[in-house]
Amino acid sequence: MTTSLSTQVSLIKRIKEQWQVYKRSQRGVIGIGVLAFFVLIALFAPLFSPYDPFKRVDQPFLPPSKTHILGTNDIGQDILSELIYGARISLMIGFLVAFSTVLIGTLIGLITGYYGGIVDEVLMRICDIVLVLPNIPLMILFASLLGRRSFIVIIFILSITAWPTVTRLVRSTTLTLKQRTYVEVAKGLGAKDFHIIFKHMLPNVMPLILATMIFRTSAAMLAEASLSFLGLGDPTKKSWGMMLHFANVSGGWWANDGKPAYWWILPPGICIAIVTLLLSMIGQALEETIDPRLRERK
């Protein structure tokens, strides 16, 4: 009990110290602040959305105006409302895929790195097979085979194609950690393997996991947008990728008197780019927080 409490206190102290270092990065603070704004918009979409994004509220292909700040789409739906509600699905998929990917990759990486032997060989060969396969064609193949257009399916597809990268990172760190003195002492005192893995190794891998999760969120959002743009998303839900898909297939490129309806095409793409940039800023700041050598180069 005393050891467990001491470990928790030590972890909390370490988190506070890391946060103090992180706050020194201006881009990291800006990244978290602006991303929090997007998350807030997504969580309280009904409060910020001027219209119901699923209902026709005016004439099709209206340009931006006071009534419709970003105009309307091909069936008269308000594009700003679509954009606000689309943040929910796009961010949710990004965070859920990142969480599931990191969870799977971390568990496999810890187990293979700690135990080694035949377990390591089998799982690493599976990992190698998935890594050498091209991601986008593999995701398209899975989406076609599963057949059902659902964002749950999208999350599943993105998760099972992305875990090997995380596994390799965690495994390499675990191989180093298991040589440390405190692990040998724990073994000598009779500590069980799972206790060593989850009480001693996992806390030391956690900073790497957090940084990896941020980058995986960005990659998942881009992958979802790609699949949705190709028509493999859920057409009954609003996401930034599905907005781009419908703009592409429903006349968005010539709706403005033969010219592209920029108010329909640009906003979802810009939002995806901004959130991806914010996540990159946060991820780089986390890497600098974890690795002092990166801070020394600045």
Q: Domains in the chain, start-ordered, CATH in brackets?
A: 91-256+278-296 (1.10.3720.10)
Q: What's phi and psi for 78, nearest 5 deg?
A: -75, 120
Check pLDDT > 80 for residue 290.
Answer: no
Cβ contacts of 94 within 8 Å, gap of 6 or more = 217, 218, 220, 221, 224, 275
CA distance 99 to 190: 32
- Does pLDDT of 260 surpass 60? yes
Which pair of tokens denotes residue 29?
Answer: 């603070």
For helices 79-115 and 26-43, give the axis angle rounded to 10 degrees. Answer: 120
Q: Angle 254-255-260 (CA atoms, 0-180°, nearest 5)?
A: 50
Residues 19 and 35: their CA atoms lie apart, in Å, by: 17
Distances 225 to 86, 219, 241 between C-alpha atoms, Å: 11, 10, 4
What is the average per-residue pLDDT within 159-187?
A: 86
CB 170 within 8 A of CB 198: no
Which residue, among 205, 246, 239, 199, has the nearest Cα to 222 in the 3D structure? 239
Q: Which long-range contacts (CB under 8 A, 24 or more apart) does 258-262 make?
A: 261/61, 261/63, 261/71
With tokens 């990917």, the residue in question is 101
Is pLDDT above 90 for 35? yes
Q: So what's the pLDDT on residue 2?
A: 47
Per-residue pLDDT band at 1 (split at 50, 70, 90):
very low
Which pLDDT band, with edges at 50, 70 and 90, does 193 fall under? Answer: confident
pLDDT tens-place string over residues 101-160: 999 999 999 999 888 888 888 888 888 888 887 777 777 777 777 765 677 888 888 888
Task: Tell me the CB-side half-sphere exposure of residue 65, using CA atoms within 13 A.
Answer: 10
pLDDT band at 161 (very low <50, low <70, confident <90, very high): confident
pTM of the full structure: 0.84
